[in-house]
Amino acid sequence: MSMRHASFHIKLTTASYKGHSCYFLHFDSMNDQNMLVSAFPSFKWSTHHKLYYVLKKHKPLHVLFSELRRVGCYVDYSEVISKRTPVQAAVKKVLHLPELALKKAKKLDQFERWMLEKRLSKNTITTYIGVTALFLRYLQLKRATEINALWVQRFNHDYVIQQNYSISYQNQCINGIKKYAEFCEVDFVLDSLERPQKPKKLPIVLTKEEVKSILDATHNTKHKTLLALLYSGGLRIGEALTMQVTDVDSKRGLLFVRSAKGRKDRYTLLSTKILILLRHYYKQYQPKTYLFEGRNGMPYSNSSAREALLKSVQRAGITKPGITLHTLRHSFATHLLENGTDIRYIQELLGHKSPKTTMIYTHVSNDCLKNIKNPLDEL
């Protein structure tokens, strides 16, 4: 049964978690949960509530609803709506969009196939389909017959800004519509549309001692090997989960990272310790194709890896907020910098296109900051 034509039932509730307003997802069955969570990286696991959740600021209700409906979900959000007070309801002017016409829905399916052929990532395609569907429904509401810069500006004002959606979501909308215009071979310029800059936040970084305590608290061999590999190679979770057994080059002491972000292959470090751990793991699990396999020989799921990390963090007694699988990659880069590794080599190991991206680690490196003399001490 394909995800696209499956039928799932999800109930949404809302609550505050770690100081953030969230939507919590209640699944009818564990099987439904496992199938869906692997398709939505934005779903996070709450060890306190024992439920998956998504931050409201990252996924407005209509976007979450649209994405879930596209994979065949029946979404019960009555409890979310009932919790809105009259004051809250008055804050936003709700724009009721009509259902997408059949002709436009078929065009949207063609757009999805076109993006697949362009090899855009699954997450990007899902986002672009969601925001473009909203834009097309807005055009139907306004009885507009063409796509142009003026209608994009009006949609941006009437739908995104008036309803106070995030800067990140606003940029996603514009990028998705531009991609759809490219698909439709419609040429227009959006120079007059001001694109707000997203706030630049520094990454969360663990100390070496904290990384060690997390690995020591991970008792499952597969989980320990995966987390250690993410840190020792500075890998993105998607890169680790699609890594094949043959990508481990033990003779050269390197890991081959295939078709990473930007479709670029690269090599990264393979430590002696991780090689010992990998050999022990291989003897126990004997993976066939993918280094970390789940059911039926498919890649291990993102959600299972995320859950394993959160449990280990909890067992290690680390209370630092915002720790994710990507935190291990940030920590790898920061620790290399603190060890004196040239930032150009770190850029290559991480697979960054621009050195500007790698430079962010100079802002979180303790050693770099400690070596700067405070002018007050010289008075």
282 is catalytic: no
Please tell me which residue in 44, 236, 330, 335 is annotated as part of the active site: 236
9 is catalytic: no
DSSP codes joined into one string, 308-327: HHHHHHHHTT---TT--HHH
Please tell me which residue in 59, 137, 223, 352 is annotated as part of the active site: 352
- Strand-pairing partners, residue 265, are none
Query: CA 329 to CA 346: how far, in whole Å?
Result: 11
Please tell me which residue in 56, 311, 315, 326 is annotated as part of the active site: 326
344 is catalytic: no
Strands, E, within 188-322: which ranges? 248-249, 254-257, 266-269
363 is catalytic: no
Closest CA to 160 of 196, 117, 186: 196
Query: CA 321 to CA 314: how far, in whole Å?
Result: 11
CA distances from 289 to 221, 234, 264, 273, 319 (A): 18, 22, 21, 23, 37
- What is the edge-to-edge ordering of all strands in the sheet holding 44-46? 44-46, 51-55, 20-27, 8-17, 73-76
**φ and ψ of 290, to 5 deg:** -80, 145
Q: Which residue has the tokens 């009509």?
A: 98
List, in order, residues 6 or more apart from 77 with CB less than 8 Å away: 11, 12, 61, 65
Q: Which residue has the tokens 């998504």?
A: 54
361 is catalytic: yes
263 is catalytic: no
Biggest distance spanned by C-alpha atoms of the chain:
74
Please tell me which residue in 59, 137, 224, 329 is annotated as part of the active site: 329
Query: CA 4 to CA 71: how far, in whole Å?
Result: 4
Query: CA 377 to CA 228: how far, in whole Å?
Result: 41
Please tell me which residue in 104, 258, 261, 311 is annotated as part of the active site: 261
Query: CA 324 to CA 330: how far, in whole Å?
Result: 10
Q: Yes or no: say if 19 and 38 are a contact pair by the CB < 8 Å rule.
A: no
Query: CA 303 to CA 325: how far, in whole Å?
Result: 10
Q: Which residues are catalytic?
A: 236, 261, 326, 329, 352, 361
